[in-house]
Amino acid sequence: MSETMTALPGIETATAGVHQLSMQQALNRALDEILAGNPKTVIFGEDCGRLGGVFRITDGLQAKHGEERVFDTPLAESGILGMSVGLAMAGFHPIPEVQFDGFAYPAINQIVCQIARMNYRSRGTLPMPITLRVPSFGGIRAPEHHGESLESLFAHVPGLKVVSPSTPHDAYHLLKYAATRPDPVIFMEPKSRYWQKGPVDLANALPGKSPHDGDPSSGGSLTGARVAREGRHLTLVAWGAMVARCLQVAELAAEDGIDVEVLDLRWLKPIDAEALATSVGKTRRAVVVHEAPLTSGLGAEVAQLITQSCFATLKAPVERVTGFDVPYPSGDLEDEYIPNIDRILFGIQRVLEYRRG
Amino acid sequence: MTTKSVLAAVDDDAAPLTHHQLRELYTLMAAVRHLDTSAVAWQRQGIIPGYAPELGQEAAQVGSGYAVDRTRDFVFPTYREMGVARAMGLDMVGYMSTHKATWHGGMYNPLESRFAPIQAVVAGSVLHAVGWAHGQTLAGHAAGEIGVAMTYFGDGASSQGDVHEAMNFAAVMKAPVVFFIQNNGWAISVPTERQVAGGSVAARAAGYGIPSLQVDGNDVVAVFEATRSAFAHCRAGNGPVVIEAMTYRRGPHSTADDPGRYRTLDEERLDAGDDPLERFKQRLLTEGVADEAFFAEAQRLAEAEEEAVRAGIADLGPRPGAEMFSLVFQEPTPALQSQATAWRKESEHV
Ligand SMILES: Cc1ncc(C[n+]2csc(CCOP(=O)(O)OP(=O)(O)O)c2C)c(N)n1
């Protein structure tokens, strides 16, 4: 992803060192530093002030930074997102929250028709540096509308960027990065991963590996995909909550001598097409895994990008292992809906056993 | 009709308008009337593809727009606020470029003009005004210095959920925002009585604890004074105000509309009330503020202005196609850049 503009007012450098943090703690810490580093940032939404959010992502921020910087709004998603537009026009950097993915729908008009278009409509004079935090995806046995996979919907909208971290480390750095961008970013937090701990290197954003980086050990770039596991036989492409599951699958496949590479896409718009080309160019087989329904899902976009760059060398058509074209089911059926280990293994098998003609 | 306050009227001890200001208001209304009727003619002549006329709403638009302080306030219009734009001194070629289909939102600079991009989604920008206004509070301007947001919308738009969210937000946050409703009697074909429950839009403000005024929207001075006191109320840190200007949209909703399908010309004549321009002219004559020579001069200026705007519009070529790609993001995506490259190659080829 090219950066033609300089970053917005910077966020302070974190204390060095690797910490074991949950994604909730990593996000909370990132927001704290964003607020400290840029006086124009404001955080608001339902219950994110005194309560610290239903997932506690904004815990303690109001007490520390004041009620003007972190505040509760009335319970109205269109209001929250519409207000973000005006605040951005007034020079602020809003970091609004919708409490759960399913409640982004009441705000779709403001997100799609207003936030996404204002830079264009105003010929670049009214940028929308808005980071919309959306607790996303299923896996927590929540009631209806508390677990949805909206990435294709957002990624399809011109003027929006979409990112989803899969680890505490990426959650911390990607949020800090997103909050300095001059364009609207939908930040999809995998809520089933909020309480999982992992190493967070606070000072070094890029300890991961990028397939298109000259020196893989030097780390990739926060603007693209990340190789979560290197492998030779096949690439699993995933993002958000599905990355951890794909890593599990890779371990199981390794027992059968199948060496799986896991590519964590991270950015769902723009998609790191180069990383896809490099990884699948090497493994020559790919399976895309996502929770969202199959039809018109992001898996189709990924498959097309791979086909375009790797058609000549692909050993099998790109496979998809996804949710189904049904409303996100309730808790008891969730395990049937979200791609599980077996379904992903079947997907791998289909690709490995594919024979031409 | 007379100005009626639904809740306690807000007030300040502002001076009455000077003769100079009264004449200025008339000059503006004459310019707006002429540009507006001309724009309809331009559409018939094929100079522009479409336009949303405001015939009969000149007093509501000029009176309110005249109260805006461009050094600190910000206006959030719909698609029908040409008169507000003109009263605020916008570049009218830039404004009309939207109707020429040159660019969504207009070619003027919203930051300099303090006039947000033209908005086609009804009530789309009402919440933006609240956000901008809350930004003034957060920025910590001293009471009395603070910028005020004014958002325009119609009686039809008042049915949108966003208006209710906006009024509630503004009241809870005490945001310095003026909700300026032009109740022109119609939302395309639907009359206000089939649109607005609760008696009036102004009456709803009571539910949010927002002071509101219903004002005679055909009386430019009454509109100006109501807007001026609403601004004073907001600037003093008292939170939002709702103004409902009662007016009438004569003629079609847009150049694509046929009002004959929902009302007769006789009904229109009966319901429309006084022509705001003619009424103001009689007042200025009666009070000796202006004479016939002044009105003739105002008309001459309006015609010269219209000619200049028409020429400016005619000169506006299409925008270079590359802008379609380059203005989506501040930081373009690689996919968008490669689409732009492909477009350039393929369109240059043809
Ligand atoms: C959200 C939305 N729905 C429908 C329309 C189509 N539409 C355009 S103008 C209009 C009527 C608006 O009436 P009102 O708000 O009273 O304003 P007026 O045009 O009378 O000034 C409608 C239905 C629209 N632009 N936006």
Average pLDDT over residues A283-308: 98
pLDDT tens profile A80-102: 999 999 999 999 999 999 999 99
Output the pLDDT for position B349.
57
Write down the pLDDT at residue B291: 98
Two tokens at B222? Answer: 């009454």
Please state, in angstroms and rounded to a whole number, the distance separating the CA atoms of residues B180 and B223: 10
Instruction: Respond yes or no on whether the N-terminal peptide bond of residue A96 is cis (omega within 30° of 0).
Output: no
Nearest to A291 by CA among A247, A330, A340: A340
B265-297 pLDDT, tens digit per residue, is 999 999 999 999 999 999 999 999 999 999 999
For A270, the closest of B109, B117, B333 (CB atoms) is: B333
Q: What is the pLDDT of residue B8?
A: 43
Average pLDDT over residues A163-191: 97
Instruction: State the closest ligand 1 atom to the C-alpha of B157, by its place in the atom list counted from 1.
Output: 15
Under the banding of pLDDT at 50, 70 and 90, the label for residue A212 is very low
Catalytic residues of B: 249, 253, 262
User: What are the beta bridge partners of residue B191?
Assistant: B186
Q: Token digits for B241? A: 């105000």
Q: Which of B141, B168, B330 is the best substitution to test chain A (most A C-beta atoms within 10 A)?
A: B330
B61-92 per-position pLDDT tens digit = 999 999 999 999 999 999 999 999 999 999 99
Report the pLDDT value the prediction gives residue A217, as an integer from 0 to 100.
35
Six token digits for residue B184: 């022109």
DSSP conformation class of B189:
T
User: What is the structure's pLDDT at B11?
Assistant: 53
Both tokens of A29, joined, read: 């810490």
pLDDT of residue A147: 94
Contact across the interface for B330 and A119, Cβ inside 8 Å:
yes
**Distance in Å, alpha carbon of B316 to nearest chain A alpha carbon:** 16
Beta pairing class for A70-72 and A41-45: parallel
Structure-token pair, residue A243: 């990355």
The answer to whether A119 contacts B327, with C-beta atoms less than 8 Å apart, is: yes
Give the span between the Cα atoms of B333 and B340, in whole angstroms.
Answer: 11
Angle between helix B276-286 and B58-65 (nearest 10): 70
- pLDDT one digit per residue (tens) for chain B, 350 residues: 444 454 444 455 678 999 999 999 999 999 999 999 999 999 999 999 999 999 999 999 999 999 999 999 999 999 999 999 999 999 999 999 999 999 999 999 999 999 999 999 999 999 999 999 999 999 998 878 899 999 999 999 999 999 999 999 999 999 999 999 999 999 999 999 999 999 899 999 999 999 999 999 999 999 999 999 999 999 999 999 999 999 999 999 999 999 999 999 999 999 999 999 999 999 999 999 999 999 999 999 999 999 999 999 999 988 998 999 999 999 999 999 999 999 999 887 55
Distance of CA B131 to the CA centre of its chain: 19
Is the CB of residue A288 less than 8 Å from the CB of residue A300? Answer: no
What is the model's pLDDT at position A226? 94
- B95 close to A (CB below 8 A): no
Asked if A83 and B330 come within 8 Å (Cβ–Cβ), the reply is: no
| C-alpha to C-alpha distance for A246 and A249, rounded to whole angstroms | 5
- Residue pair A176/A202 in contact (Cβ under 8 Å)? The answer is no
Q: Report the residue among B188, B194, B201, B248 best suited for mutation to probe ligand 1: largest number of ligand atoms under 8 A from its CB.
A: B188
- State which ligand 1 atom lies nearest to the alpha carbon of B52: 19
CA dihedral (A80, A83, A84, A87) positive or negative: negative
pLDDT at B145: 87
pLDDT-based confidence at residue A210 (cuts at 50, 70, 90) = very low
Alpha helices in chain B (DSSP H): 19-44, 58-65, 82-87, 92-96, 110-113, 126-138, 161-173, 201-205, 220-235, 265-272, 276-286, 292-315, 322-326, 334-349
Tell me if B154 CB under 6 Å of ligand 1.
yes
Q: Which among A110, A183, A270 has the least Cβ separation from residue B330?
A: A183
Which protein residue has the closest C-alpha to ligand 1 atom 20? B187
CA distances, B342 to each of A161, A186, A280, B345 (Å): 22, 28, 25, 5
Q: How far apart are CA A291 and CA A287, in angstroms?
A: 13
- Residues A182 and A154 sit within 8 Å (Cβ to Cβ): no
Residue A331 predicted with pLDDT over 60: yes
Does the CB atom of residue B253 touch ligand 1 within 6 A?
yes
Residue A207 pLDDT > 70: no
pLDDT at position A209 is: 46
Residue A356 has a pLDDT of 84
For B30, phi then psi, to 5°, come to: -65, -40
The residue of chain B with its CA nearest to that of A158 is B328
Q: What is the ipTM of this complex?
A: 0.87
Q: What whole-number distance in Å separates Cα of residue B119 and Cα of residue A118?
A: 10
Q: Give the C-alpha distances (Å, rounded to integers) separating A322 from A177, A238, A241, A337.
A: 29, 10, 13, 8
Could you tell me which chain A residue has the CA closest to the CA of B132? A86
CB B234 within 8 A of CB B241: yes
Query: How far, in Å, is the centroid of ligand 1 from the Cα of A106?
Result: 20
Residue of A nearest to B114 (CA): A89
- What crossing angle do the helices spanning B19-44 and B292-315 adopt, rounded to 10°? 40
Out of A4, A90, A110, closest to residue B331 by CB: A4
Contacts of B111 in chain A (CB under 8 A): 125-126
Exposed, middle or buried: residue B307 (CB in 10 Å: 0-12, 13-18, 19+)?
Answer: exposed
